[in-house]
């Protein structure tokens, strides 16, 4: 567990000093929001607000792919990835430290993106801010867990920018489905639906367990 906390603190501290991933994800997601806003006919209206939850999660997923693709880039320097493999602990804790760091780094970009969506689509998200944050956390947890695993797989390939989306996107179907459905019902009614949340919780637990157990073999490869 100490190894996981050390890796988490190392990644967050490096990002705090450079802020390159946070700024890149933030600018990328805001650009996606602006493109959606300008491309939808009629601007901010009741018709376009229906599509806001789905478009919001499209921005989240694209920003996460942008950030996850660089999660292990620093470890390529001086063969630091081999150093992670030699950490004196279960390698699953290495995975948990990296996944938690990716989740933490993604959070500011998601918060700013939700604020921009509220402005561009004339949505008042303040009343549902707390449950919306919970839905985003559940969706991002599964996204960052499986994304961290495949980021470690893709970082050693020649075309890692292409390999990560190809490996990751098919496994994001239940996460995106549950997140979009839960966000849509929450914005429309103000209540949190049970079935999408149940889907997210089950998917998150399954992905965390599988990724924790298989990360050992990923570092060996």
Residues 152, 15: Cα–Cα separation, whole Å: 18
Most confident option among 9-13, 74-78, 196-200, 211-215: 196-200
pLDDT tens digits, one per residue of 202-219: 999 999 999 988 887 877
Domain membership of residue 194 as a residue range: 2-220
Nearest by Cα to 140 from 193, 99, 103: 103
- pLDDT over threshold 80, residue 71: no
pLDDT at 20: 78
Asked whether 67 and 105 are in contact (CB, 8 A), the reply is yes
Mean pLDDT of 76-97: 69
Compute the distance between CA of residue 113 and CA of residue 174 in angstroms, rounded to an integer: 22
Alpha-helical regions (H) of 1-128: 2-18, 20-39, 46-49, 52-68, 80-85, 91-120
What is the mean pLDDT of the segment spanning 48-64? 85
pLDDT score of 46 more than 80: no
> How many separate domains does the chain show?
1
Contact 92, 7 (CB under 8 A): no
Which residues, including other chains, have CB under 8 Å from residue 105's CB and lie 6 or more apart? 11, 12, 15, 21, 22, 25, 67
Q: What percent of the chain has pLDDT over 90?
A: 27
Question: How far is Cα 77 from Cα 86, in angstroms, rounded to an integer?
Answer: 16
Side-chain-side CA neighbours of 148 within 13 Å: the count stands at 30
For residue 160 the two structure tokens come to 């890692």
Which of the four pLDDT bands, split at 50, 70 and 90, describes residue 33?
confident
- Count the Cβ atoms, other than its own, within 10 Å of residue 196: 23
Interatomic CA distance for residues 102 and 4, integer angstroms = 13
């Amino acid at each position: 567990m100490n190894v996981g906390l050390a890796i988490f603190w190392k990644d967050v501290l490096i990002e705090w000093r450079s802020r390159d991933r946070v700024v890149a994800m933030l600018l990328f997601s805001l650009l996606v929001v602006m493109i959606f806003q300008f491309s939808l006919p009629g601007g901010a209206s009741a018709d376009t607000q229906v599509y806001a939850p789905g478009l919001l999660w499209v921005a989240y997923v694209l920003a996460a792919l942008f950030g996850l693709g660089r999660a292990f880039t620093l470890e390529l320097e001086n063969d630091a990835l081999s150093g992670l493999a030699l950490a004196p602990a279960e390698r699953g804790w290495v995975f948990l430290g990296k996944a938690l760091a990716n989740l933490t780094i993604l959070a500011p970009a998601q918060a700013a993106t939700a604020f921009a969506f509220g402005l561009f689509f004339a949505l008042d998200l303040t009343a549902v801010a707390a449950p919306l944050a919970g839905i985003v956390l559940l969706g991002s947890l599964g996204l960052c867990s499986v994304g961290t695993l495949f980021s470690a797989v893709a970082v050693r390939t020649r075309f890692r920018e292409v390999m990560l989306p190809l490996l990751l996107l098919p496994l994001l179907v239940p996460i995106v489905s549950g997140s979009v459905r839960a966000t849509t019902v929450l914005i429309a009614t103000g209540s949190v639906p049970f079935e999408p949340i149940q889907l997210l919780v089950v998917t998150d637990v399954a992905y965390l367990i599988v990724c924790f157990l298989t990360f050992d073999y990923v570092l060996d490869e």
